[in-house]
Protein backbone atom coordinates (compact mmCIF):
# COMPACT_ATOMS: atom_id res chain seq x y z
CA UNK A 1 0.00 0.00 0.00
CA UNK A 2 1.28 3.46 -0.89
CA UNK A 3 3.29 5.14 1.83
CA UNK A 4 2.14 8.58 0.77
CA UNK A 5 -1.07 7.94 2.73
CA UNK A 6 0.74 6.98 5.94
CA UNK A 7 1.35 9.70 8.50
CA UNK A 8 1.41 9.19 12.24
CA UNK A 9 0.29 12.80 12.82
CA UNK A 10 -3.02 12.29 11.02
CA UNK A 11 -5.84 11.77 13.49
CA UNK A 12 -9.04 12.48 11.51
CA UNK A 13 -11.01 9.68 9.89
CA UNK A 14 -10.80 9.66 6.07
CA UNK A 15 -13.60 11.36 4.22
CA UNK A 16 -15.52 9.77 1.37
CA UNK A 17 -13.54 11.83 -1.14
CA UNK A 18 -10.26 10.61 0.38
CA UNK A 19 -11.42 7.00 0.12
CA UNK A 20 -12.52 7.53 -3.49
CA UNK A 21 -9.17 9.12 -4.35
CA UNK A 22 -7.33 6.17 -2.80
CA UNK A 23 -9.35 3.75 -4.94
CA UNK A 24 -8.50 5.78 -8.04
CA UNK A 25 -4.81 5.35 -7.18
CA UNK A 26 -5.24 1.60 -6.72
CA UNK A 27 -5.06 1.67 -2.92
CA UNK A 28 -7.84 -0.69 -1.89
CA UNK A 29 -8.63 -2.87 1.09
CA UNK A 30 -7.50 -6.48 0.72
CA UNK A 31 -7.51 -9.47 3.09
CA UNK A 32 -5.57 -12.21 1.33
CA UNK A 33 -5.91 -14.58 4.25
CA UNK A 34 -9.63 -14.79 3.56
CA UNK A 35 -8.98 -15.74 -0.07
CA UNK A 36 -6.51 -18.44 0.95
CA UNK A 37 -8.97 -19.94 3.42
CA UNK A 38 -11.82 -19.93 0.87
CA UNK A 39 -9.65 -21.54 -1.83
CA UNK A 40 -8.50 -24.27 0.54
CA UNK A 41 -12.04 -24.91 1.76
CA UNK A 42 -13.47 -25.13 -1.76
CA UNK A 43 -10.65 -27.39 -2.89
CA UNK A 44 -11.17 -29.70 0.06
CA UNK A 45 -14.93 -29.77 -0.52
CA UNK A 46 -14.44 -30.68 -4.18
CA UNK A 47 -12.04 -33.46 -3.20
CA UNK A 48 -14.51 -34.77 -0.63
CA UNK A 49 -17.42 -34.84 -3.08
CA UNK A 50 -15.64 -35.80 -6.28
CA UNK A 51 -12.33 -37.28 -5.20
CA UNK A 52 -13.49 -40.84 -5.74
CA UNK A 53 -14.75 -40.11 -9.24
CA UNK A 54 -11.51 -38.36 -10.08
CA UNK A 55 -9.50 -41.39 -8.92
CA UNK A 56 -11.71 -43.68 -11.01
CA UNK A 57 -11.17 -41.47 -14.03
CA UNK A 58 -7.39 -41.53 -13.52
CA UNK A 59 -7.54 -45.31 -13.23
CA UNK A 60 -9.48 -45.51 -16.49
CA UNK A 61 -6.92 -43.29 -18.24
CA UNK A 62 -4.08 -45.41 -16.83
CA UNK A 63 -5.68 -48.67 -17.96
CA UNK A 64 -6.26 -47.30 -21.44
CA UNK A 65 -2.63 -46.15 -21.59
CA UNK A 66 -1.29 -49.51 -20.43
CA UNK A 67 -3.49 -51.39 -22.88
CA UNK A 68 -1.26 -50.28 -25.73
CA UNK A 69 0.01 -53.30 -27.61
CA UNK A 70 3.64 -54.07 -28.27
CA UNK A 71 3.28 -53.32 -31.97
CA UNK A 72 1.81 -49.90 -31.33
CA UNK A 73 4.72 -48.95 -29.12
CA UNK A 74 7.20 -49.38 -31.98
CA UNK A 75 5.59 -46.55 -34.02
CA UNK A 76 6.61 -43.14 -32.55
CA UNK A 77 3.71 -41.27 -34.19
CA UNK A 78 1.13 -43.76 -32.95
CA UNK A 79 2.74 -43.78 -29.49
CA UNK A 80 2.52 -39.97 -29.25
CA UNK A 81 -1.13 -39.94 -30.29
CA UNK A 82 -2.02 -42.66 -27.81
CA UNK A 83 -0.15 -40.97 -24.96
CA UNK A 84 -1.81 -37.66 -25.76
CA UNK A 85 -5.26 -39.27 -25.78
CA UNK A 86 -4.53 -40.86 -22.41
CA UNK A 87 -3.11 -37.75 -20.70
CA UNK A 88 -5.29 -34.99 -22.19
CA UNK A 89 -8.54 -35.80 -20.29
CA UNK A 90 -6.75 -35.77 -16.95
CA UNK A 91 -4.99 -32.53 -17.79
CA UNK A 92 -8.30 -30.94 -18.83
CA UNK A 93 -9.93 -31.88 -15.53
CA UNK A 94 -6.92 -30.56 -13.63
CA UNK A 95 -6.92 -27.27 -15.59
CA UNK A 96 -10.65 -26.79 -15.01
CA UNK A 97 -10.18 -27.49 -11.31
CA UNK A 98 -7.32 -24.98 -11.02
CA UNK A 99 -9.19 -22.31 -13.00
CA UNK A 100 -12.22 -22.78 -10.75
CA UNK A 101 -10.04 -22.36 -7.68
CA UNK A 102 -8.46 -19.23 -9.22
CA UNK A 103 -11.93 -17.77 -9.86
CA UNK A 104 -12.98 -18.56 -6.29
CA UNK A 105 -9.82 -16.96 -4.93
CA UNK A 106 -10.29 -13.86 -7.08
CA UNK A 107 -13.90 -13.49 -5.98
CA UNK A 108 -13.03 -13.95 -2.32
CA UNK A 109 -10.22 -11.42 -2.63
CA UNK A 110 -12.51 -8.65 -3.91
CA UNK A 111 -15.32 -9.35 -1.43
CA UNK A 112 -13.75 -7.16 1.24
CA UNK A 113 -12.48 -4.21 -0.77
CA UNK A 114 -14.53 -4.47 -3.93
CA UNK A 115 -13.43 -4.34 -7.55
CA UNK A 116 -11.41 -1.46 -8.97
CA UNK A 117 -9.34 -0.87 -12.10
CA UNK A 118 -6.59 1.70 -12.01
CA UNK A 119 -3.45 2.33 -14.05
CA UNK A 120 -1.90 4.59 -11.40
CA UNK A 121 0.20 1.79 -9.82
CA UNK A 122 1.77 1.18 -13.27
CA UNK A 123 2.88 4.80 -13.69
CA UNK A 124 6.58 5.56 -12.96
CA UNK A 125 7.22 6.47 -9.35
CA UNK A 126 10.84 7.13 -8.41
CA UNK A 127 10.03 6.90 -4.70
CA UNK A 128 9.50 3.16 -5.16
CA UNK A 129 13.09 2.64 -6.40
CA UNK A 130 14.63 4.91 -3.79
CA UNK A 131 16.84 2.64 -1.63
CA UNK A 132 16.44 4.81 1.45
CA UNK A 133 12.65 4.77 1.19
CA UNK A 134 12.80 1.05 0.51
CA UNK A 135 14.73 0.34 3.71
CA UNK A 136 12.34 2.63 5.60
CA UNK A 137 9.39 0.60 4.33
CA UNK A 138 11.10 -2.65 5.30
CA UNK A 139 11.76 -1.33 8.81
CA UNK A 140 8.33 0.29 9.22
CA UNK A 141 5.74 -0.80 11.74
CA UNK A 142 3.39 -2.00 8.98
CA UNK A 143 6.08 -4.29 7.52
CA UNK A 144 6.88 -5.69 10.97
CA UNK A 145 3.19 -6.40 11.61
CA UNK A 146 2.84 -8.16 8.25
CA UNK A 147 5.96 -10.25 8.98
CA UNK A 148 4.67 -11.27 12.39
CA UNK A 149 1.28 -12.12 10.87
CA UNK A 150 2.87 -14.32 8.21
CA UNK A 151 5.06 -16.10 10.76
CA UNK A 152 2.08 -16.62 13.07
CA UNK A 153 -0.13 -18.01 10.31
CA UNK A 154 2.59 -20.34 9.01
CA UNK A 155 3.35 -21.56 12.53
CA UNK A 156 -0.32 -22.18 13.35
CA UNK A 157 -1.11 -23.94 10.08
CA UNK A 158 2.12 -25.91 10.10
CA UNK A 159 1.69 -27.07 13.69
CA UNK A 160 -1.89 -28.20 13.10
CA UNK A 161 -0.96 -29.94 9.85
CA UNK A 162 1.92 -31.74 11.61
CA UNK A 163 -0.35 -32.89 14.42
CA UNK A 164 -2.98 -34.14 11.98
CA UNK A 165 -0.52 -36.03 9.82
CA UNK A 166 1.18 -37.50 12.86
CA UNK A 167 -2.10 -38.65 14.39
CA UNK A 168 -3.28 -40.13 11.07
CA UNK A 169 0.04 -41.78 10.16
CA UNK A 170 -1.36 -45.30 10.78
CA UNK A 171 -4.18 -44.55 8.32
CA UNK A 172 -1.71 -43.45 5.66
CA UNK A 173 0.39 -46.57 6.27
CA UNK A 174 -2.72 -48.72 6.00
CA UNK A 175 -3.61 -47.01 2.72
CA UNK A 176 -0.11 -47.68 1.37
CA UNK A 177 -0.45 -51.47 1.74
CA UNK A 178 -3.93 -51.64 0.19
CA UNK A 179 -4.73 -52.28 -3.45
CA UNK A 180 -4.90 -49.41 -5.93
CA UNK A 181 -8.50 -48.21 -5.95
CA UNK A 182 -9.19 -48.46 -2.20
CA UNK A 183 -5.78 -46.98 -1.40
CA UNK A 184 -6.35 -43.99 -3.67
CA UNK A 185 -9.85 -43.38 -2.31
CA UNK A 186 -8.64 -43.64 1.27
CA UNK A 187 -5.70 -41.31 0.65
CA UNK A 188 -7.94 -38.75 -1.04
CA UNK A 189 -10.37 -38.88 1.88
CA UNK A 190 -7.57 -38.38 4.42
CA UNK A 191 -6.08 -35.47 2.50
CA UNK A 192 -9.47 -33.82 2.05
CA UNK A 193 -10.11 -34.05 5.80
CA UNK A 194 -6.75 -32.41 6.47
CA UNK A 195 -7.54 -29.66 3.99
CA UNK A 196 -10.96 -29.08 5.55
CA UNK A 197 -9.49 -28.76 9.04
CA UNK A 198 -6.76 -26.44 7.77
CA UNK A 199 -9.34 -24.32 5.95
CA UNK A 200 -11.30 -24.05 9.21
CA UNK A 201 -8.11 -22.81 10.88
CA UNK A 202 -7.57 -20.27 8.09
CA UNK A 203 -11.20 -19.17 8.42
CA UNK A 204 -10.60 -18.44 12.11
CA UNK A 205 -7.45 -16.51 11.20
CA UNK A 206 -9.38 -14.57 8.54
CA UNK A 207 -12.09 -13.69 11.07
CA UNK A 208 -9.39 -11.88 13.04
CA UNK A 209 -7.44 -10.56 10.05
CA UNK A 210 -10.33 -8.93 8.15
CA UNK A 211 -11.31 -6.49 10.97
CA UNK A 212 -7.62 -5.71 11.46
CA UNK A 213 -7.14 -5.01 7.75
CA UNK A 214 -10.20 -2.71 7.75
CA UNK A 215 -8.80 -0.82 10.74
CA UNK A 216 -5.29 -0.65 9.26
CA UNK A 217 -6.60 0.52 5.87
CA UNK A 218 -8.60 3.39 7.36
CA UNK A 219 -5.74 4.21 9.73
CA UNK A 220 -3.34 4.57 6.77
CA UNK A 221 -5.77 6.96 5.09
CA UNK A 222 -6.33 9.19 8.11
CA UNK A 223 -6.16 12.93 7.54
CA UNK A 224 -5.04 15.97 9.49
CA UNK A 225 -7.56 18.63 10.43
CA UNK A 226 -5.96 20.99 7.95
CA UNK A 227 -6.40 18.44 5.16
CA UNK A 228 -10.07 18.07 6.06
CA UNK A 229 -10.51 21.85 5.99
CA UNK A 230 -8.68 22.13 2.68
CA UNK A 231 -10.84 19.40 1.18
CA UNK A 232 -14.04 21.10 2.35
CA UNK A 233 -12.78 24.39 0.95
CA UNK A 234 -11.92 22.73 -2.34
CA UNK A 235 -15.31 21.03 -2.49
CA UNK A 236 -17.36 24.08 -1.49
CA UNK A 237 -15.22 26.61 -3.32
CA UNK A 238 -13.71 29.84 -2.07
CA UNK A 239 -15.68 32.20 0.22
CA UNK A 240 -16.13 34.57 -2.73
CA UNK A 241 -17.59 31.76 -4.83
CA UNK A 242 -19.95 30.69 -2.05
CA UNK A 243 -21.06 34.30 -1.58
CA UNK A 244 -21.72 34.61 -5.29
CA UNK A 245 -23.73 31.37 -5.25
CA UNK A 246 -25.84 32.63 -2.34
CA UNK A 247 -26.56 35.87 -4.19
CA UNK A 248 -27.60 33.97 -7.30
CA UNK A 249 -29.85 31.70 -5.26
CA UNK A 250 -31.51 34.68 -3.61
CA UNK A 251 -32.04 36.31 -6.97
CA UNK A 252 -33.58 33.16 -8.40
CA UNK A 253 -35.79 32.78 -5.32
CA UNK A 254 -37.00 36.36 -5.73
CA UNK A 255 -37.75 35.75 -9.40
CA UNK A 256 -39.74 32.63 -8.53
CA UNK A 257 -41.60 34.46 -5.78
CA UNK A 258 -42.44 37.33 -8.14
CA UNK A 259 -44.05 34.82 -10.47
CA UNK A 260 -45.89 33.02 -7.64
CA UNK A 261 -47.38 36.03 -5.85
CA UNK A 262 -50.09 36.63 -8.51
CA UNK A 263 -51.23 33.03 -7.97
CA UNK A 264 -51.64 33.51 -4.21
CA UNK A 265 -55.05 33.76 -2.54
CA UNK A 266 -53.97 36.36 0.00
CA UNK A 267 -50.93 38.08 1.48
CA UNK A 268 -50.41 38.49 5.23
CA UNK A 269 -48.32 41.54 6.21
CA UNK A 270 -46.73 43.11 9.29
CA UNK A 271 -47.78 45.62 7.63
CA UNK A 272 -44.42 46.96 6.38
CA UNK A 273 -41.57 44.73 7.54
CA UNK A 274 -42.94 41.22 6.82
CA UNK A 275 -45.04 39.75 4.02
CA UNK A 276 -46.15 36.16 3.35
CA UNK A 277 -48.18 35.05 0.31
CA UNK A 278 -50.31 31.92 0.74
CA UNK A 279 -52.13 29.80 -1.80
CA UNK A 280 -54.94 27.31 -1.16
CA UNK A 281 -56.75 25.03 -3.61
CA UNK A 282 -59.62 23.22 -1.99
CA UNK A 283 -59.57 19.50 -2.76
CA UNK A 284 -55.98 19.63 -4.02
CA UNK A 285 -54.15 20.81 -0.90
CA UNK A 286 -54.44 19.70 2.68
CA UNK A 287 -53.58 23.19 3.93
CA UNK A 288 -52.55 26.57 2.50
CA UNK A 289 -49.06 26.60 0.98
CA UNK A 290 -46.47 29.37 1.32
CA UNK A 291 -45.49 30.63 -2.17
CA UNK A 292 -43.55 33.78 -1.22
CA UNK A 293 -42.18 35.47 1.87
CA UNK A 294 -39.73 38.19 2.71
CA UNK A 295 -38.73 41.08 4.89
CA UNK A 296 -37.81 44.68 4.17
CA UNK A 297 -37.55 45.44 0.47
CA UNK A 298 -38.64 41.93 -0.48
CA UNK A 299 -41.80 42.34 1.60
CA UNK A 300 -42.44 45.69 -0.08
CA UNK A 301 -42.04 44.08 -3.52
CA UNK A 302 -44.49 41.30 -2.57
CA UNK A 303 -47.07 43.89 -1.52
CA UNK A 304 -46.58 45.82 -4.76
CA UNK A 305 -47.09 42.72 -6.91
CA UNK A 306 -50.13 41.70 -4.83
CA UNK A 307 -51.66 45.16 -5.26
CA UNK A 308 -50.96 45.13 -8.98
CA UNK A 309 -52.72 41.77 -9.44
CA UNK A 310 -55.51 42.52 -6.92
CA UNK A 311 -54.45 39.84 -4.44
CA UNK A 312 -56.06 40.58 -1.04
CA UNK A 313 -53.63 41.92 1.57
CA UNK A 314 -54.51 41.27 5.23
CA UNK A 315 -52.70 43.00 8.06
CA UNK A 316 -51.89 40.45 10.78
CA UNK A 317 -48.50 41.29 12.25
CA UNK A 318 -47.94 38.32 14.64
CA UNK A 319 -49.15 35.80 12.06
CA UNK A 320 -46.97 37.28 9.31
CA UNK A 321 -43.89 37.09 11.54
CA UNK A 322 -44.69 33.48 12.57
CA UNK A 323 -45.18 32.33 8.97
CA UNK A 324 -41.94 33.98 7.79
CA UNK A 325 -40.02 32.39 10.65
CA UNK A 326 -41.44 28.87 10.89
CA UNK A 327 -42.59 28.02 7.33
CA UNK A 328 -40.32 27.36 4.36
CA UNK A 329 -41.17 28.18 0.77
CA UNK A 330 -43.34 25.60 -1.03
CA UNK A 331 -44.28 24.03 2.34
CA UNK A 332 -47.76 23.81 3.79
CA UNK A 333 -48.40 25.66 7.02
CA UNK A 334 -47.99 23.59 10.22
CA UNK A 335 -51.04 22.37 12.08
CA UNK A 336 -50.49 24.90 14.86
CA UNK A 337 -51.26 27.72 12.42
CA UNK A 338 -54.38 26.15 10.94
CA UNK A 339 -56.81 28.14 13.08
CA UNK A 340 -55.50 31.72 12.50
CA UNK A 341 -54.86 31.05 8.79
CA UNK A 342 -58.40 29.67 8.45
CA UNK A 343 -59.74 32.86 10.04
CA UNK A 344 -57.76 34.95 7.55
CA UNK A 345 -58.99 32.77 4.66
CA UNK A 346 -62.60 33.17 5.84
CA UNK A 347 -62.15 36.95 5.99
CA UNK A 348 -60.71 36.90 2.43
CA UNK A 349 -63.76 34.97 1.21
CA UNK A 350 -66.06 37.57 2.82
CA UNK A 351 -63.95 40.30 1.26
CA UNK A 352 -64.30 38.78 -2.22
CA UNK A 353 -68.02 38.19 -1.79
CA UNK A 354 -68.53 41.84 -0.80
CA UNK A 355 -66.53 43.00 -3.80
CA UNK A 356 -68.51 40.77 -6.18
CA UNK A 357 -71.79 42.14 -4.76
CA UNK A 358 -70.61 45.74 -4.97
CA UNK A 359 -70.77 46.16 -1.21
CA UNK A 360 -68.14 47.86 0.95
CA UNK A 361 -65.42 45.57 2.32
CA UNK A 362 -66.09 44.10 5.75
CA UNK A 363 -64.08 45.60 8.61
CA UNK A 364 -60.88 43.86 9.63
CA UNK A 365 -61.41 41.96 12.90
CA UNK A 366 -59.63 43.62 15.78
CA UNK A 367 -59.80 40.71 18.20
CA UNK A 368 -57.14 37.99 18.58
CA UNK A 369 -58.51 35.55 16.02
CA UNK A 370 -55.56 36.19 13.62
CA UNK A 371 -52.88 35.71 16.27
CA UNK A 372 -50.88 32.44 16.27
CA UNK A 373 -50.53 30.20 19.36
CA UNK A 374 -47.96 31.00 21.97
CA UNK A 375 -45.47 28.42 20.66
CA UNK A 376 -45.30 30.39 17.39
CA UNK A 377 -44.87 33.76 19.06
CA UNK A 378 -41.84 35.72 17.82
Q: Are residues 117 and 177 in the same domain?
A: yes
pLDDT for 269 equals 92
Question: What Å distances lie between residue 234 and 6, 7, 203, 228, 237, CA to CA?
Answer: 22, 22, 43, 10, 5
Q: What's the pLDDT tens digit per position in 5-52?
A: 444 477 778 877 787 777 777 677 777 777 777 887 787 777 777 766
Using the predicted structure, report yes or no on whether residue 71 has a pLDDT greater than 60: no
Q: What's the pLDDT tens digit per position in 124-156?
A: 666 666 677 766 666 777 778 778 877 887 888
In a domain, 241, yes or no: no
Q: Are residues 71 and 201 in the same domain?
A: yes
Domain enclosing residue 290, as ranges: 255-376
Question: What Å distances lie between residue 239 and 235, 243, 252, CA to CA?
Answer: 12, 6, 20
Using the predicted structure, report yes or no on whether residue 59 has a pLDDT greater than 80: no
H or E element that contains 60: helix 32-66
Using the predicted structure, report yes or no on whether residue 3 has a pLDDT greater than 60: no
Using the predicted structure, report yes or no on whether residue 72 has a pLDDT greater than 70: no
Using the predicted structure, report yes or no on whether residue 261 has a pLDDT greater than 80: yes
Using the predicted structure, report yes or no on whether residue 373 has a pLDDT greater than 70: yes
Q: Are residues 109 and 208 in the same domain?
A: yes
- Mean of pLDDT values over 158-173: 82
pLDDT for 102 equals 83
In a domain, 265, yes or no: yes
- Mean of pLDDT values over 217-227: 81
Bridge partners of 274, per DSSP, are: 295
Greater confidence (232 vs 95) lies with 95
Greater confidence (338 vs 91) lies with 338
pLDDT for 328 equals 87
Using the predicted structure, report yes or no on whether residue 4 has a pLDDT greater than 60: no
Looking at the structure of the chain, the number of domains it has is 2
Q: Are residues 164 and 302 in the same domain?
A: no
Q: Are residues 152 and 280 in the same domain?
A: no
Q: Are residues 212 and 270 in the same domain?
A: no
How much is the mean pLDDT over the chain? 78
Q: Are residues 127 and 270 in the same domain?
A: no
* Residues in contact with 354: Cβ distance below 8 Å, sequence separation at least 6, in sequence order: 360, 361, 362
Using the predicted structure, report yes or no on whether residue 346 has a pLDDT greater than 80: yes
pLDDT for 75 equals 62
Residue pair 3/137 in contact by the 8 Å Cβ criterion = yes
Query: Where are the extended beta strands (E) located within the chain?
Result: 266-269, 274-279, 289-295, 313-315
**SS3 label, residue 223:** strand
Q: Are residues 273 and 361 in the same domain?
A: yes
In a domain, 8, yes or no: no
CATH number of the CATH domain containing 328: 3.40.1690.10
Q: Are residues 58 and 188 in the same domain?
A: yes
Amino acid sequence: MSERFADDSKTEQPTSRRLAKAREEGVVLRAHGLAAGVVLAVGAAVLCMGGGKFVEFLELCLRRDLSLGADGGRDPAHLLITASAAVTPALLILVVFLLALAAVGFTADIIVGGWTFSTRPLSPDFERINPVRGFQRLASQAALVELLKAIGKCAAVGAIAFCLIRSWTPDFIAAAVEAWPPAANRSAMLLSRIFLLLSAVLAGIAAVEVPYQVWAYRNRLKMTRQEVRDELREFDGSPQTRRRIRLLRRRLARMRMAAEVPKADFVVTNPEHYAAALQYREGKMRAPRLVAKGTGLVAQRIREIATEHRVPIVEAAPLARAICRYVELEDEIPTGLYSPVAEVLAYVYRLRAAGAAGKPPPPLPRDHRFEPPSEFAT
